[in-house]
Amino acid sequence: MSFTIGNYYPADSPLHRVDPRAKILGSLVLMVTLFLFSRPVAMLAYTLFLLVLVAVARIPLRLVLGTLRPILMLALIALIANILTGPEPWLWQRSFLRLSLPGLETGLTMALRLCLLILTTQLLLTLTTTPILIADGLEALFAPFTRFGFPAHELAMMMSIALRFVPTLAEEADKIMKAQSSRGADYDTGGVLARARGLISVLVPLFVSALKRADELATAMEARCYRGGEGRTKLRPLVFRRRDALFSLAVALVAAFVLTIEHLL
């Protein structure tokens, strides 16, 4: 069983039952905190906190780590770019090619920070919260701005649809690549331009499929008389409970603890 970014993992865990508004705000606090520290001790403390979240969410660790697969190449590119462009002292030098020690440290920090960022949003949002609850949470958080003409419901709906279709399009792309490979398409040999040309046979049917799905979704919403958020009620209204307050407090304490470690050690 493989998971990609945007998939929801069904389970009956304390983290799954937390109010989506608390998880959205908590993820924002943690993402901001993540860019305020860089020391290895602080990174380790934050990583241990994420491991605790994995245990609380009752999600297999291999599935959580599997969501990092799409961004590993980006993390590797950031690491290599920092090694090649960093300042002295050099780890290795030959002619014009120089490998920077500070660049290696910066690159590792950036790569690890990127992975932790993805894991944070996955654990607090997409893996443990359904797209419908994410939309409801965003709409509730944006509700105070509707008096100024802000389209809270429409924006929340668009974001939930986008999150819902990320794994769907990823699976569709995988099916198209396998189908094209069975017809003799080759994506692994040749230069960069040859591989880019080969991807055209994937991108064209993928765009056609995405547009077809969008048209079917629009037709389904019209058939159900969807007219926006004006006057709509909720089947299950969001209620902020004690466990949600405790979760928010725990996130704030973790952020404060990690930042304290960063500045004191």
Helix, strand, or coil (residue 97): strand
Residue 20, pLDDT above cutoff 70: yes
Run of H or E including 92: strand 90-94
Q: What is the pTM of this model?
A: 0.78
pLDDT at 257: 94
Nearest to 29, CA basis, from 263, 260, 252: 252
Asked whether 6 and 163 are in contact (CB, 8 A), the reply is: yes
The domain segmentation of the chain, as residue ranges, is 20-264
* Cis amide bond preceding 89, omega within 30: yes
Average of pLDDT values for 125-135? 87
Run of H or E including 255: helix 242-264
Token pair, residue 45, equals 């403390």
Nearest to 140, CA basis, from 155, 161, 127, 125: 155
Question: Angle 169-214-1 (CA atoms, 0-180°, nearest 5)?
Answer: 25
Q: How confident is the model at residue 230 (pLDDT cuts 50, 70, 90)?
A: low
Residue type, 18: V
Q: Lowest-confidence range among 10-19, 55-64, 80-89, 163-172?
A: 163-172
Average of pLDDT values for 166-186? 78
What would the pLDDT profile of 106-128 be if each residue is shown by its tens digit? 888 888 999 999 999 988 888 99
